[in-house]
A and B are shown apart, each in its own frame.
Chain A
Amino acid sequence: MKHVLAVLVENKPGVLARISGLFSRRGFNIDSLTVGETLDPHISRMTITVSGDASTLEQVVKQLNKLINVIKISNVTEDPAVMRELMMIKVQADPQTRSDIQQIVETFRGKVVDVSLDSLVIEITGDEEKLEAIKILLQHFGIKELVRTGKVAILRGSKTTRESNGTVPGN
């Protein structure tokens, strides 16, 4: 089972290394990890997608909580939240296929952000299902390269992650 954790951390050097090191030495699997500054420049926010059963998740959260630089962890997997990921795809395109590709991109509300004689670069945001769907379609034309950011999540409504008292076990 996949879990999405929103983790507020102090914006200090080495924090990312502490977190990624913790995952590897305890044998936890990270599916994706994104990190960026928050409104408060002293605090960064990580969105970590981790797979494992309930007891693994419990250990992940408890061990993360032990890191001094970790301020707060919220498990947003079950909460009503908007989750998005950005993907860019470089797809093969010749004059014959270009318009078909563009049609697909429009349907998915993506954007063509670069064009060359034999390829297009497509930018698309959405949840995991949507990104998977367009990927499968574009594979038909030949994907030369693909990059994705990993997931970010924000709670719906006026409640913030800081306030959410967490579905987090342990602390």
Chain B
Amino acid sequence: MKMKGAEMVISALERENATTVFGYPGGAVLPLYDSLFDSSIYHVLSRHEQGAVHAADGYARASGKPGIVFATSGPGATNLVTGIANAFMDSVPLVLITGQVGTGSIGTDAFQEADITGITMPITKHNYLVKNVEELPLIIKEAFHIASTGRCGPVLIDIPKNIQDEIGEFDYPEKVDIQGYKPTLEGHPGQVNKAVKLISKAKKPLIIGGGGVIRSGAGKHLLELAEKGQIPVALTLMGLGGIPGDNPLFLGMLGMHGTRTANYAVMEADLIIAVGMRFDDRVTGHLDSFASKAQVIHIDVDPAEIGKNVPVDVPIVGDVEVVLKRMLKYFKPGDIAEWKEKTLQWKNEEVSDYSCEKSSPEVLTTPEVIKTIFQHTSQLDTIIATDVGQHQMWTAQHYCFNNPRTLISSGGLGTMGYGFPAAIGAQVAMPEAKVFCISGDGSFQMNIQELATASYYRIPVKIAVINNTYLGMVRQWQELFFQKRYSSTSLSGNPDFCKVAEAYDVPARSISSAEKIEEAVTWALAEEGPVLLDFQVEPEGNVFPMVAPNRPLNEIIDGSDK
């Protein structure tokens, strides 16, 4: 069937069962938006391209389906860059379609021209510059395939404006065969065998699950393995929700702000079973001392992650779910009662509340806010999106994530400004869920313009701004490592967040005492549309426990020496 390039894009999206696009129009995507006008695809207009790409990212993390983004050439495309890098670091499937100046103008520094395929080469899984309209169907098919298989990631397609207008034959391929792209999904049977034997023999095994567990939908298999062998489990930030947070075998998050229990377990274990995680420096602390008594089994779909940071004894390249299923078939539990006892003992001794210090008795603290939100949402279908900083770590520590895809957070890149648009995207993907955005006063202002998006589409995200008038995490590091020299971390000059929200027709409340938290959360949940809660919390609270950067995981700072 003959059609214009722009129409091909829309038809291809329909073939991919795409229902939603996040984007922002402009000169070089006029034909594309014109074709979109007649289609049934729902377009969410953000107020900044970064908002669109983070929303698509939140949509993808919540639903498991690729997020789709439209943006124009030049500044439209470059505004996507942070969001693309963010999705790349956390392996989120995105298909981004950008307009480009006409093929005749490429390379001439034309108006709104930017070499976006060049710019995004290091932060996309793959990208394309379309030179011929006839290639478009195959390229889009490939893009969806590459974005959403193997280790997922963002794929960008740059389409010059004249190509969008040119007419070609639309013949959408059913399948693609890319010579240089064949992800290994089945783990090597011999390696799987070795792994299960090693687990049976181990006296102190520890499972560490990461984002790969969530992405491949392997949570229940991981739990089955843990329960069958009574093996304790620690999760990375990206892995939270992989197994239920209230399961007795769960030791908590590990790493820089992980629990004492999880970090001690890493240091004492004789076998680490690493599942869909990549030994990030925030997880390992000082590399050479990380799990120094342990052999390592590493299961990951990306072979390049295996052996990159930590030497591995049994590498298994494959999809985590497929590999775990196979392991479960052959795995015979060993006797690790003593080890389990030990980890339980740590868990019982763990200070249940490293709640931050209060400068006065009536002031409220972030852990109190997070716990109240948890109490009121634990029985509901809830998704929590966070921004980046102290509130993020406190959320990871104090909100008990019992289901996969319920925590949406920027792990690898640590992108301030991610949380709110991501919450919008998650809510669009999961209209029935209660979506909370837990943000900070710093982070929230980085994409505060998306209040217009939430308001216009009545996307009922509940925004909790944890307002301590500081860039809290940076200030904490200045307090701990730079003699309290608070260089440029005070955010005095913040707006009245309630007034800002109300200006966008988003109802808001400010909360400054502990006994008002509950009432505010109840109110927010009862409101039908988006609301904002401005929690004015202890300004100089610190997140503990903490392991200083590049220190061994058992060197834990808990704030008790203060």
A66 to B146, CA, bound (A): 11
B121 engages A68 (CB within 8 Å): no
Find the A residue at minimum CB distance from B182. A171
Q: Is A77's beta carbon under 8 Å from chain B?
A: no
A14 engages B179 (CB within 8 Å): no
Q: Is B122's beta carbon under 8 Å from chain A?
A: yes
Beyond A59-B308, A62-B303, A171-B303, is A17–B180 a contact (Cβ under 8 Å)? no
A21 engages B121 (CB within 8 Å): yes
Beyond A10-B179, A17-B121, is A66–B302 a contact (Cβ under 8 Å)? yes
A18 engages B180 (CB within 8 Å): no
Kindly supply a per-residue 1/0 record for chain A positions 141-171, scoring 1 wherever the CB is within 8 Å of any chain B CB and 0 otherwise. Answer: 0000000000000000000000000000011
A71 engages B180 (CB within 8 Å): yes
A69 engages B180 (CB within 8 Å): yes
Kindly supply a per-residue 1/0 record for chain B positions 103-134, scoring 1 wherever the CB is within 8 Å of any chain A CB and 0 otherwise. Answer: 00000000000000110011001100100000
B180 engages A68 (CB within 8 Å): yes
Chain A residues with CB below 8 A from B173, complex form:
none
A170 engages B304 (CB within 8 Å): yes
Chain A interface residue number, banded: 20 to 34
A10 engages B307 (CB within 8 Å): no
A31 to B217, CA, bound (A): 43
Q: Is B380's beta carbon under 8 Å from chain A?
A: no
Beyond A14-B129, A17-B121, is A55–B307 a contact (Cβ under 8 Å)? yes
B181 engages A58 (CB within 8 Å): no
A17 engages B304 (CB within 8 Å): no
A67 engages B180 (CB within 8 Å): yes
A17 engages B122 (CB within 8 Å): no
Give the residue of B121, B184, B303, B307 whose beta carbon is less than 8 angstroms from that of A18.
Answer: B121
Q: Is B526's beta carbon under 8 Å from chain A?
A: no
Q: Is A121's beta carbon under 8 Å from chain B?
A: no
Q: Please provide the chain A residues from 33 to 75 with a CB less than 8 Å away from any CB of chain B in the complex.
A: 55, 58-59, 62-63, 65-72
B180 engages A171 (CB within 8 Å): no
Give the residue of B121, B126, B179, B304 whose beta carbon is less than 8 angstroms from that of A59.
Answer: B304
A68 engages B146 (CB within 8 Å): yes
Q: Is B1's beta carbon under 8 Å from chain A?
A: no
Question: Number of residues in B with C-beta < 8 Å to the partner?
Answer: 19
B178 engages A68 (CB within 8 Å): yes
Chain B residues with CB below 8 A from A71, complex form:
179-180
Beyond A68-B146, A68-B181, is A63–B121 a contact (Cβ under 8 Å)? no
- Determine how close the nearest CB of chain B comes to the CB of A29; give it in whole angstroms: 18
- Determine how close the nearest CB of chain B comes to the CB of A112; give it in whole angstroms: 41
B304 engages A63 (CB within 8 Å): yes
B184 engages A171 (CB within 8 Å): yes
A157 to B106, CA, bound (A): 46
Q: Is A25's beta carbon under 8 Å from chain B?
A: yes
A62 engages B304 (CB within 8 Å): yes
A65 engages B303 (CB within 8 Å): yes
- Determine how close the nearest CB of chain B comes to the CB of A13; give it in whole angstroms: 8
Q: Please provide the chain B residues from 163 to 191 with a CB less than 8 Å away from any CB of chain A in the complex.
A: 178-181, 184
Chain B residues with CB below 8 A from A55, complex form:
307
- Determine how close the nearest CB of chain B comes to the CB of A46; give it in whole angstroms: 13
Chain A residues with CB below 8 A from B126, complex form:
68
Chain A residues with CB below 8 A from B180, complex form:
9-10, 67-72
Find the A residue at minimum CB distance from B303. A170
A13 to B181, CA, bound (A): 18
Of A9, A21, A59, A62, the most chain B CB neighbours within 10 A belong to A62
A65 engages B304 (CB within 8 Å): yes
Chain A residues with CB below 8 A from B122, complex form:
21-22, 25
A18 to B119, CA, bound (A): 11
- Determine how close the nearest CB of chain A comes to the CB of B182; give it in whole angstroms: 9
A58 to B309, CA, bound (A): 12
A59 to B125, CA, bound (A): 17
Chain B residues with CB below 8 A from A171, complex form:
184, 303, 317
A26 to B409, CA, bound (A): 26
A66 engages B304 (CB within 8 Å): yes
A18 to B129, CA, bound (A): 13
A18 to B125, CA, bound (A): 11
A70 to B179, CA, bound (A): 8
- Determine how close the nearest CB of chain B comes to the CB of A42; give it in whole angstroms: 9
Chain A residues with CB below 8 A from B117, complex form:
14
Chain A residues with CB below 8 A from B304, complex form:
59, 62-63, 65-66, 170
A62 to B278, CA, bound (A): 15
Kindly supply a per-residue 1/0 record for chain B positions 396-413, scoring 1 wherever the CB is within 8 Å of any chain A CB and 0 otherwise. Answer: 000000000000000000
Q: Please provide the chain A residues from 60 to 97 with a CB less than 8 Å away from any CB of chain B in the complex.
A: 62-63, 65-72
- Determine how close the nearest CB of chain B comes to the CB of A23; give it in whole angstroms: 11
A65 to B182, CA, bound (A): 10
Q: Please provide the chain B residues from 282 to 325 with a CB less than 8 Å away from any CB of chain A in the complex.
A: 302-304, 307-308, 317
A67 to B121, CA, bound (A): 10
A22 to B118, CA, bound (A): 12
Chain B residues with CB below 8 A from A66, complex form:
302, 304
A59 to B121, CA, bound (A): 18
Chain B residues with CB below 8 A from A65, complex form:
303-304
- Determine how close the nearest CB of chain A comes to the CB of B371; give it in whole angstroms: 42
- Determine how close the nearest CB of chain B comes to the CB of A40; give it in whole angstroms: 11
Kindly supply a per-residue 1/0 record for chain B positions 25-48, scoring 1 wherever the CB is within 8 Å of any chain A CB and 0 otherwise. Answer: 000000000000000000000000
A25 to B125, CA, bound (A): 15
A141 to B34, CA, bound (A): 70
Find the A residue at minimum CB distance from B304. A62
A59 to B307, CA, bound (A): 8
Find the A residue at minimum CB distance from B151. A66
Find the B residue at minimum CB distance from A58. B307
- Determine how close the nearest CB of chain B comes to the CB of A34; give it in whole angstroms: 20
The 8 tightest CB contacts between A and B, nearest first, are: A62-B304, A68-B126, A71-B180, A170-B303, A68-B181, A71-B179, A70-B180, A62-B303
14 A-B pairs (CB sep. < 8 Å): A13-B129, A14-B129, A17-B121, A18-B121, A21-B121, A59-B304, A62-B304, A63-B304, A66-B304, A71-B179, A71-B180, A170-B303, A171-B184, A171-B317
Query: 8 additional contacts, CB 8 Å, given A10-B180, A17-B121, A171-B184?
Result: A10-B179, A22-B122, A55-B307, A62-B303, A68-B126, A68-B178, A71-B180, A170-B303
Chain B residues within CB distance 8 Å of chain A: 117-118, 121-122, 125-126, 129, 146, 178-181, 184, 302-304, 307-308, 317
